[in-house]
Amino acid sequence: MNSIERVFVEKGCEDIAYAQQMLGRLSNTPAEIIPNIKDFLAQSTAEPSKIAQGKRTLLLMKNRGRFLKTCPGTKHHLCCGYLTLHHAAGCPLDCSYCILQAYLNNPFIVYYVNENDMLAELREIFAQAKNSILRFGTGEFTDSLALEPIARTTELFLPLLREFPNVFLEVKTKAADISPILGMEPRRQIIFAWSLNPQRIIDAEESGAASLDERLKAAQIIQEAGYPVAFHFDPLLRFEGWEEEYEGVVKKLAEAVDLSRVFWVSLGVFRFPPSLKNIIQERFPQNRLIYEEFIIGEDGKMRIFKPLRREMFRHLLQALRSACPDVFCYLCMERADVWDDLFGFHPENNLQLKSMLDQRCEREVHIK
């Protein structure tokens, strides 16, 4: 469903082919040319009262910086070496706990439409890494599928994926409309990854997102069509009855897909900058997730107290391993001691963790 009610376009971008395609799919939506994008952005603050309307407003402009960036990770915490694509910022979904509310400096959904610059940068980076696996994704600063019927971002990368069989695109989402992508090739290099939470949380905290059943049905269709799938229990949220609720999610997941063929399942607890708490309190006063037992970590983010995190990880891993002993799981942004407690080992460093995930992809390079 199209939730966009208004479009702003940086002057000069209206002549770019990608912008024209998006505007063509929004032909009934009012559009306004912005003559001075710098002044416009300076006047468009991301204060909480403007976020809701901003989620219905699309801004098409140029990205004047780099598109592909390494996940910054956290000091002394293990990171998987994922590359994030800065092709868009902002999301039409309105999850109460979303960290983007505290990170973005304007309330709009921004899409960078200078696609030729983006593809040239990616080709240069990919060409320098022909002998290694590269994993990049479009779901760090937005939801990969929520606006795909309008943006059609994924199809921009298909020629590059065909040229570089060592490169894998991860499409992270809470949406379920897979129609814009289903059938795209090379399908073994497009990893569909769904973020999962109990339906109780989806109803209360993930406004606009697909239901759990819709996500799992989409995952089932995608896996049967020959695409790799992955899942992210991140953020894991602590609330009364979380144990049974997450067990129920795992049971439904195991019924929907073949867990032995899933590329990976990540586990990560709710973590956020302290500034997000005030935003959530103002925008979602009914939210109780921010009142759990948190501490401030080395990265300055609020994290659930470590013993409680360990308890949650153990419970989820036991449920997943009961459903499929061979399912591949890893922790997102956790210390070595938490890995040791959960798995009995830890990757020596970020490169080793990256290699563990790369090996999951490397098998597909040789499969015809």
pLDDT in tens, 110-144: 999 999 999 999 999 999 998 899 999 999 999 99
- In angstroms, the CA 242 to CA 239 distance is 5
Q: Which residue, 236, 248, 258, is CA-closest to 326?
A: 258
pLDDT tens, 169-206?
A: 999 999 999 999 999 999 999 999 999 999 999 999 99
Strands (E), 16-133: 31-34, 57-61, 68-70, 83-85, 88-89, 94-95, 109-112
Q: What is the mean pLDDT of residues 268-291?
A: 95
- In angstroms, the CA 341 to CA 337 distance is 6
CB 54 within 8 A of CB 108: yes
pLDDT tens, 322-351?
A: 999 999 999 998 989 999 999 999 998 878
pLDDT tens, 23-51?
A: 999 999 999 999 999 999 999 988 999 99
Q: How confident is the model at residue 299 (pLDDT cuts 50, 70, 90)?
A: confident
List the structure tokens of 250: 């795992």
List the structure tokens of 5: 């009610």
What's the topology of domain 6-365?
Answer: pyruvate-formate lyase- activating enzyme (3.80.30)
Instruction: Examine the pLDDT at 249 and tell me if it is beyond 60.
Output: yes
DSSP state of 155: G
pTM here is 0.94
